[in-house]
Structures are given as C-alpha cells and as structure tokens.
Amino acid sequence: MRCTHKDKLERVLTGLGCAVLAALSGCASHRQRDVADNFTTQAPFSRTFSGSGDSVCWSVKRAMLSQGYMLDRPNESGILTGERDYQPQPKQNISVHLQTTCADNRNGTSIVFVSATREESQLQKMKQTTSLGVGPATLTMPSGSAQVLGVVRRETIQDRSFYEDFFSLVQGFTDQEQLSQAQTRAEDAAARAQ
C-alpha cells in the first residue's frame, strides 16, 4: 500500500490534534485550588466551653448583644445571627455579619461554631432615565443621577484574633453564669439546712 502526501498530512494533523487535547486536559486536571477551598483542623471557627448548652448559648447571646450586634432570630435556640454596622468614612459603610451555632456535647461541655463576613459598601453615582411613551412609541431620556449604596467587597473574616476576642468574651460570660449558678445552689443548700 502506497502512502501519499495527503495521508502523511492527515496523520500529522491528527497527531497534533491529539497532543493539543492531551495538553489541555492535563492543564484542566491540575488546576490549583484556591486557599479558601482548603479544609484544615487549624481553623479558628470553633471552641469548646465548659458548661451546659443552655448556659453557653446564653453567654454567646450576651456576647453578641454586648458588642452592638442586632440579632436576626433572637428566640431560635442554638443558632444566632446578628449584624453590626459602622461608618469609618462619610461615603463608606461596613457591615459585619456574625452567625453562631451552639451545641451541648452532653458531657458537661458545649461547642460553639462561629463565622463572620465583612461587607464593605460605598456611595456610588447611578444614572437614572425616564421613559415616556404614547402608543407603540417610547422615548427614553436621561433624567439625572442618584447616589446609591453599592457593595464593593464581601469576604469571610479569617483573622484569628477576631475569633479569639469573641471566644474570650463568651468565656467571660460563661464564667459569670457558672458563678451565679454556684451561688444560687449554695443559697438553696443553706436555706434547706435551716
């Protein structure tokens, strides 16, 4: 069988096509993962506290309220979400959204999970238009501009000190709650002894 120039060209093109496909599939399979996608045991988002679930969850609620967080669902047990706003500059607004979940471990300890997001918004000019129409004809004309608050950045807070400060505050309220419960038990025991 005789190999023509056309056959050789087809084989070369087929080989090149296969090489390109192999290279592309290799690149796709070796995509680097974003650091935010990684799971690690060193995450700062949880802490175990000594105490019952009711006591620790009440301490979490007190910690959030003491820092000016407005709670979204204050009566839902176990899950608390809150938000705090501040304005570092006249045309900038920062919102911190905090979500906590507490669970009683049924062994005298409770675990608290927390995650926070920070959202930065700025005043931005937005063009406005007015539409006038009669029958099938419509005319759209610019009518000025308005300033609106638009989100420019949103991210999960990764700063360990933010979470450490929150957990320290919860620990302080938990200690107060345990001290109060111990005093109540002591007073009850003294009253029964009389």
| pTM, rounded to two decimals | 0.67
pLDDT tens-digit map of 78-131? 899 999 999 988 889 999 999 999 999 999 999 999 999 999 998 887 776 677
Q: What angle do CA 191, 193, 194 make, to 5 degrees?
A: 70
* Exposed / middle / buried, residue 69 (Cβ in 10 Å: 0-12, 13-18, 19+): buried
- Report the alpha-carbon distance of residue 107 to residue 155 in Å, rounded: 35
Least confident stretch, 42-46, 49-53, 179-183: 42-46
What is the model's pLDDT at position 39? 73
Residue 11 pLDDT > 80: no
pLDDT given at position 78: 81
Exposure class string for 103-126: b at 16+ Cβ within 10 A, else e = bbeeeeebebebbbebbebeeeee
pLDDT at 56 over 60: yes
Q: Between 47 and 188, whose confidence is greater?
A: 47
Report d(CA 167, CA 169) in Å as an integer: 5
CA 171 to chain centre: 22
pLDDT of 172 reads: 96
Residue 149, pLDDT score: 75
List, in order, residues 6 or more apart from 82 with CB less than 8 Å away. Answer: 64, 69, 70, 71, 72, 97, 98
Q: Decide: 94 and 119 in contact? Cβ < 8 Å.
A: yes
What domains lie within the chain, and their CATH numbers? 43-126+145-183 (3.30.310.80)
Share of the chain above pLDDT 90, in %: 43
pLDDT at 29 over 60: no
The confidence score (pLDDT) of residue 135 equals 63
Residue 25 has pLDDT above 60, yes or no: no
